[in-house]
Chain A
Amino acid sequence: MSILGILNIGTTALLTAKSALNTTSNNIANASTPGYTRQSAVLASVPSGLTSMTGTSGNGVTISDIERMYDSFTTLQLRNEKSTSSYWNTYSNYAGSIETVFNETSDTGIGPAISSFFSAWQQVAQDPGNTVQRTALINAGQYLASRINSAYNTMADQQGQIYRNSQDLVTQVNNISQQIYSLNEKIVASPGALDLKDQRDALVEQLNEITRVDTVQDGGGRYAIYLGGTALVDPSGSYSMSVALDTSNAMQFSVGSANINSLMTSGSLRANLDARDTTIAGYIGQLNTFAAGLGNAVNNQQALGFDLNGNLGGNFFSTTAGFDARDLRVTITDPRLIAASGTAAGVPGNNTNAQAIADMANSGVAQLGGITPIEYYSRLVAATGADAQSANTYIKFQTALVSQLETQRQSVSGVSLDEEAVNLVQYQKSFEAAAKLISTGNDLLETIIGMVK
């Protein structure tokens, strides 16, 4: 080993310590970067290439690899659970909005409006000839209709908002797919680009939160992304997802010409699909049934009675075939046209028809399956509450699970500033020692050169 060899070894030590410091610096800089995977410099001694019975010292140190501390199993689990978590978070938001439409803990819900409507009929039955009571009944009917219209419109607006949100999410899916494809090509060209791999993994995670996908890595390091078997990204390119409304106002998702509704198992888009086209559509259907049932029952009974002019009663509510709850209106404007009397001769004192309608509050209505209007409505309220409650329970569970998995992943892939501080001191001292080695080699050379003088 020559003195120059000491200088060479010192140089490798200096450069290696500097590179290790770079890695540590990068870790510290990205300690808070989402998706960043901790990197670690793997040091290896440089062999001398000579063998000797007495042993031969090596030629210094080098960095054999910059390792990415990646836990593929936990990452995969986390992606899947985040997808489920995203589903319940999204669904819960919508369920929470819908339950406020039917919030019967306040006195401004539809329930009190139903009660007021039937109370108004009872008032008319008490004094069937009195136009003040009749006018009050028309007002109560208009208020009930407006509350039902408002509930329908709120839910229909929610459906519109979910569709617009789905369009935005589909655009995001397409952007992410293109970015993953682009990163695939860069990673293939530069396999050591660890930060690009982090970016790609972060995108896959983001994609999973929107819609659950499967990821397959090929030998070249490319990711192929499949949504239930349909490729979004493969070695040939990325494929656009789209969403449109069909003739029955239901969302249809597709990739190319293939419909993928049934392939979406979790994520925000699945939550959008379920909330919009199953849950809210179901509530709207029930509200339509309620409005039509109530409207037709009142109209049918109204048609059996006689108004203050002695004529058979006309429709109280406007109900036409295939009508929606938003169309429910009170058609009667003249209070004299309310058919309170059971007979033409009984006008104005006969109250049997008004009483029959008032009795609907407590007796079953055939159009509502034989139960009372308030019972039908109460079941709807319970369903919305149970839906929101169930979603909240799932969220609590999923949030805890995701938090636990995130902790596990962070344990392997996350940056510890304390640990990096230790590394920083360690490599700083290595750097100082390497510098001292070079300085010592230099002193030795100086000594030898001095001997010659």
Chain B
Amino acid sequence: MRITTQMLYTTFNYKLQNTMNDVYTTDQQLATGQKLNKPSDDPAAVSSISYQKSQLSSIAGYQDTIGNISTLLNATSSVLDNLKSLISSAKQIGNNAMSATASDLATYASMIDNVINGAVSAANTKVGDKYIFSGYGTDQPAVASATGTLTATATADLIPMQIDVGASVNVNVTANGFIASGTAQDTTTIIGAMQALKAAIQANSQAGIQTAMTALDSLSGRVMSTQSDVGVRLNRLSIEKDYLTSRDTDVTNSVSDKMMLSTVDIARLSALSQQQQAALTSLRTITNGVLNTSLFDFLK
């Protein structure tokens, strides 16, 4: 084959371009620390990364939701503890009232009033700007402080919140029918039973006091059962949180494996980069040697 001058230029140019392209690709990977810098580097992997990043975003959202629900349920649990204590106090006052003289009854009635106020205050607990016992009516108190009855905006609705795909947890306990109802002295509710107890004390009705205290006993059990339900929900949140943390780690690792250079990759690419640079230097030296001389240099 005849070797011509232009052929040498074309061939060396082609080889230089190829080698420099290899050097550029390797250096870009090392500089960014990423195996993939554009979709065409590995379309299937980039598509998968896009989907997995969305999963990570969802997981972060669910983790955030779990944190918020935990705050609400822990606050609810504290309020239930408080209600349990208030019921206990009411029962103690009722017991004392049963053996008290008529002149002391007004004092006991007044003490029950304080307990009722405590229960109303507990029912109107806010977390952030939300009333947590008001059902859907989160922007209004659950119980009217003047009457101790349920406000018109408070509903009996439980609010479910998604903690994972297809999994949700109710974030609230409602006051409706449990702490209060629309009727005063409703003994099926905590405040109603306390109001009934107060009325019985004021009326010095032993039977009335006994009935109210029996109702409070039953409501104390309901508080404990509700607390247990809240505990179950918190436990579920804890399990879900661990699961999401584990998934977050797995998906993050998967994205990282696809996208980022591992220590082994970096060592391999560093060696490759040195090889490519050595090849480029050699090629430049050869190109310089071959193209820089011709027979004309030897003619005199």
Residues in A lying within 8 Å of B, measured CB to CB: 31-32, 38, 95-96, 99-100, 102-105, 109, 111-112, 114-116, 118-119, 122-123, 125-127, 129-130, 341, 345-352, 355, 358-359, 361-363, 374-375, 377-379, 381-389, 392, 399, 403, 406-407, 410-412, 414-419, 421-422, 424-425
Task: Verify A349–B134 contact, CB threshold 8 A.
Answer: yes
Task: Verify B38–A31 contact, CB threshold 8 A.
Answer: no
A112 (CB) vs chain B CBs: closest residue: B53
Task: Verify A348–B65 contact, CB threshold 8 A.
Answer: no
7 A–B contact pairs at CB < 8 A?
A32-B9, A105-B49, A119-B58, A381-B50, A382-B43, A412-B2, A419-B4
CB distance from A340 to the nearest CB of B (A): 11
CB distance from B140 to the nearest CB of A (A): 9
Given contacts A103-B39, A378-B51, contact A410 B161 (CB under 8 A): no
List the A side residues contacting B41 at CB < 8 Å: 105, 385, 389
> Which of B98-106, B116-124, B292-300 touches A?
B292-300
CA distance A421 to B294 in the complex (A): 9
List the A side residues contacting B134 at CB < 8 Å: 349
When each residue 39-68 of chain B gets 1 if its CB lies under 8 Å from chain A and 0 otherwise, what string results? 111111011111101100110111011001
State whether the Cβ of B14 lies closer than 8 Å to any Cβ in chain A: yes
Number of interface residues of B (CB under 8 A): 60
Task: Verify A359–B38 contact, CB threshold 8 A.
Answer: no
Task: Verify B47–A100 contact, CB threshold 8 A.
Answer: no
List the A side residues contacting B2 at CB < 8 Å: 411-412, 414, 416, 419
CA distance A42 to B219 in the complex (A): 121
Task: Verify B40–A111 contact, CB threshold 8 A.
Answer: no
CA distance A249 to B46 in the complex (A): 32
List the A side residues contacting B14 at CB < 8 Å: 399, 403
List the A side residues contacting B42 at CB < 8 Å: 385
CB distance from B80 to the nearest CB of A (A): 19
List the B side residues contacting A114 at CB < 8 Å: 54
A121 (CB) vs chain B CBs: closest residue: B61
CA distance A379 to B51 in the complex (A): 9
B47 (CB) vs chain A CBs: closest residue: A382
Given contacts A115-B58, A346-B136, A348-B136, contact A374 B155 (CB under 8 A): no
List the A side residues contacting B5 at CB < 8 Å: 31-32, 414-417
State whether the Cβ of B277 lies closer than 8 Å to any Cβ in chain A: no
CA distance A247 to B223 in the complex (A): 73
Task: Verify B10–A406 contact, CB threshold 8 A.
Answer: yes
State whether the Cβ of B128 lies closer than 8 Å to any Cβ in chain A: yes
